[in-house]
Chain A
């Protein structure tokens, strides 16, 4: 048995080599299927990794009170809602038993400049007192904002890591002036590197006291209230309490839906799961379809091969090959053919993943175990679609085969 298996593999390789072009064309479906699966697995594992890195960059237990929900929004309704304001911040601070800190912040985008160096569309944040503690901001150079900065609405800013690198490539920015949307500000600190999330760079930012922000960039903006629950308090309890407080201060009548949103990182996680779920489904679809098409291609070419080699089957049978040996020979040939496609597909999939990683912001990380997945799947396809032709070969009558010309 083992000899016939080794012999079958040898024969299969010989037969594929003598029909090189035909074999390669036959495996095209498998190549496409396997490379799709490998590429998408690589992209998803890459995304997973990047995502968990990104999540740890944002404080994961911080709750954000905003007008808009991060994932689901009915804009026609949301638009009419009252803006979130300082009234809500005060209400939370004064009435909550479960909240440790709550701080408002505003955001805008502006052009920033240091002499001739400039960056467009930088996220400008005006942060309230306590916000730095809630977000766990840490300075890489200089200092954070202090009480006096907030109380006197001073023109001082913290800049993100990448801003410091771009605007001050050769010197320390601490103590230097920059222009933020045409207003002169003094840099007092550089924030630690935080990476990016969903393609937005968290290191291209300028942070200033909220009073300063309102003085120069207006007060009628969308406020975010960052809320840090007390240590050891259940998240859902905090959210329930916040809802009660906010409904009261915003005078939402009983039975009416909330006119505000409470966002948490979980919302992003759910959104992410939906996104990758879609990718998985697409992979499953494309992969399955191409593997089936590829399998049919293999079955087809194996049927042709069985007919072409009728004489050979007759000779082998006359010389003592049992039906099983013939079955094995053609089955192994189908599997080898399919695995050839699988190997090419795996290599191609790795190539695509590397290319995606190199030229797009989507990270892709190639996993060695996906080689096993690729070859395993293709071997399975060969086995499944090779059975029919192989059985046909094995069942042939030796006399008729020998007469076949």
Chain B
């Protein structure tokens, strides 16, 4: 059974006078352990698709199943819980809380799943160690380099053992050398049997994925195997 399945997925924004159809009849299945890049120019609907896959938004038509659960039609609390348990986000702009330490940032998903503080600290330190930041747990985001910040974000995405890791332009704010480091880290996660969905418009970044889905004008234009570069 697929880990993630979209059936005739559509999203329409009601702008009053006109209706804006951003996604049309998207059919997509992703199996556990896959490494998929979603590509497309701006306005292609890839951000909307990513928001729906990440349970930040719900489709107007069609079905979206994640790990056996029907997401379309869920209320806000249920969506929050699904995001908490099943999805690990890695954002282009890192999205760390500026006043909190690296450890506190990594702990955040555990706070909302009700893990007690001492256990949280321990798990967060383990996760930071796994991304090579064991000496940086007390640092605040502004005391870390861009690459280090994105590693903190990756550690945070992994902390709840999510079903999928959703990386939205994870290298968009990084230089080439750091980008390669982060992509290597994602590659490592893939080898550890994590499912990764990478949203990007850069071809050399998409090359790391094992499957490339291209969107254009709200429909899937192509779905091809990727290079799986390491």
Q: Which of B66-125 contact A (CB under 8 A)?
A: 76-77, 80-81, 83-85, 89, 91, 95-97, 99, 108-109, 111-117
Q: Is A58 an interface residue (CB 8 A)?
A: no
Mask: chain A, 10-31; 1 = CB below 8 Å from B; 0 = not? 0000110010000000000000
Residues in chain B near residue A18, CB distance under 8 A = 99
Tell me if A140 counts as interface (CB < 8 A to partner B). no
Provide the residues of chain A in CB contact with B109, threshold 8 Å: 319-320
**How distant is the Cα of A14 from the Cα of B57 in the complex, in angstroms?**
31
Inter-chain CA distance A57–B100, complex, in Å, is: 65
Task: Please give the distance in Å from B34's CB to the nearest CB on chain A.
Answer: 22
Q: Is the CB of B112 within 8 A of A320?
A: yes
* Residue with the highest number of chain B CB atoms closer than 10 Å, among A3, A317, A320, A325: A320
Q: For the complex, is A153 an interface residue (Cβ under 8 Å from B)?
A: no
A320–B97 CB distance below 8 A: no
Binding site of A, secondary structure by majority: helix, strand, loop or mixed? Answer: helix
> Does B156 count as interface, using CB distance less than 8 angstroms?
yes
Are A4 and B54 also in contact (CB < 8 A) when A14-B99, A318-B83, A322-B76 are? no
Q: Is B44 in the interface zone, CB < 8 Å from A?
A: no
- Which B residues are CB-close (under 8 A) to A14? 99
* Inter-chain contact B57/A319, CB cutoff 8 Å: no
Query: Given that A399-B57, A402-B95 are known contacts, is A316 also in contact with B108, CB under 8 Å in the complex?
Result: yes
Residues of A near B56 (CB, < 8 A) are: 317-318, 398-399, 402
B173 at the interface (CB under 8 A from A): no
Considering only residues 1-53 of chain A, those with a C-beta below 8 Å from chain B are 3-4, 7, 14-15, 18
Bound complex: CA A102 to CA B114 (Å): 81
In this complex, which of A18, A319, A323, A324 has the most chain B Cβ atoms within 10 angstroms of its Cβ? A319
Q: Within 8 Å of chain A (Cβ to Cβ): is B51?
A: yes
Cα distance A311–B91 when bound, in Å? Answer: 13
Among A3, A4, A314, A323: residue with most chain B CB under 10 A: A3
A149 at the B interface (CB under 8 A) = no
* Contact A322–B112 (Cβ < 8 Å): yes
Chain B positions within 8 Å of A311 at CB level: 95
Contact residues of B between 32 and 76, Cβ < 8 Å to A: 51, 54, 56-57, 76
Query: Is A312's beta carbon under 8 Å from chain B?
Result: yes
Measured CB to CB, the closest approach of chain A to B168, in angstroms, equals 9
- Say whether B80 contacts A321, CB under 8 Å: yes
Q: Which residues of chain A are near B91, meaning CB under 8 Å?
A: 402
Q: List 10 A-B contacts (CB under 8 A).
A: A3-B116, A4-B112, A315-B95, A316-B108, A319-B89, A319-B108, A320-B85, A320-B109, A320-B112, A402-B56
Query: Given A315-B97, A320-B112, A399-B57, 13 other A-B contacts at CB below 8 A?
Result: A3-B117, A14-B99, A314-B95, A318-B83, A319-B83, A319-B108, A320-B109, A321-B84, A322-B76, A322-B112, A323-B76, A323-B77, A324-B77
- B-to-A contact residues, CB < 8 Å: 51, 54, 56-57, 76-77, 80-81, 83-85, 89, 91, 95-97, 99, 108-109, 111-117, 156, 160
